[in-house]
Amino acid sequence: MFVSGVPEGYTDAQFQEKFAAYGAVSNAKFDSGKGIGFVQFLEHGSAQKSIDALHNQPEGSTVWKVLVYKPREDVVFEFKKNYKQTVENWKRKSVFVKCGPGKPDSEGRPGRIELTEPKIIALFQECGEIESVRMIYTTNTYFDETNSKKTVKNPTGSAFINFVNPESAT
C-alpha cells in the first residue's frame, strides 16, 4: 500500500506499530522527511482494514492517505483512459452556441445581443435537461490613472451548453 500524511517525527517503530494493529505486516518503510511510506501485509484483508480505518483520518497537523499501491504506469494509463472517456462524453453532450449581431441601432450600426446564462437556459431548456452552461469571455487587463491593475471580463456572445443526455445535444 502507499501511505502519505505520515506525521512529522514518526519513528520506524511507530509506523510499523500503526499498521500492525490491522494485521501481520511483512514489510513497512517510510521516509519521514517526505511523510510517505509503503506497507505490505501478509493478508489482503488486513490491507483493506487499514485503509478503512486510517484513510483521510487526521493526526496532528496532517491527514493520513492510505491507498492500494499502483505502479506509476498504471496510474498514468488510468488517468489517460478516464480523461479520454470524459472528453468523449462532453463531446456527445455539448453544444457550442455563438450569438450573431442584434438589430441595428438608430444609426445603422449592428447591435449586440447580450447572451447571459439565464437567457441560454431559457432558450435551450426545451431541448432537454441542462447540466451546465459555460460562458466564454475575453479578459482585458489595464492600469487605471492611479496605477491600479484592473481586469474586465467581456462576454464574447459564445457559450458551451452541456446537456444531461446526449440525445438533447443533437
Per-residue pLDDT reduced to its tens digit, 23-58: 999 999 988 888 899 999 999 899 999 999 999 999
Read off the pLDDT of each residue in 48-73 and give the average, rounded to a whole number: 90
What percent of the chain stands above pLDDT 90? 35
pLDDT band, very low/low/confident/very high, at 138 (cuts 50, 70, 90): confident
Mean pLDDT for the chain overall:
87
Q: Report helix, strand or coil for 68.
A: coil
pLDDT at 103 over 70: no
pLDDT at 142 over 70: yes
pLDDT band, very low/low/confident/very high, at 102 (cuts 50, 70, 90): low
Cβ atoms of residues 92 and 86 within 8 Å: no
Report the Cα–Cα distance between both ends of the chain, in Å, rounded: 45
Measure the CA–CA gap between 159 and 98, rounded to whole angstroms: 7
Q: Report helix, strand or coil for 35.
A: coil
Q: For residue 112, what pLDDT is reported?
A: 64
Domains contained in the chain, CATH given:
2-72 (3.30.70.330), 92-169 (3.30.70.330)
Per-residue pLDDT reduced to its tens digit, 113-133: 677 889 889 989 999 999 899
Q: For residue 8, what pLDDT is reported?
A: 85
Residue type, 40: Q
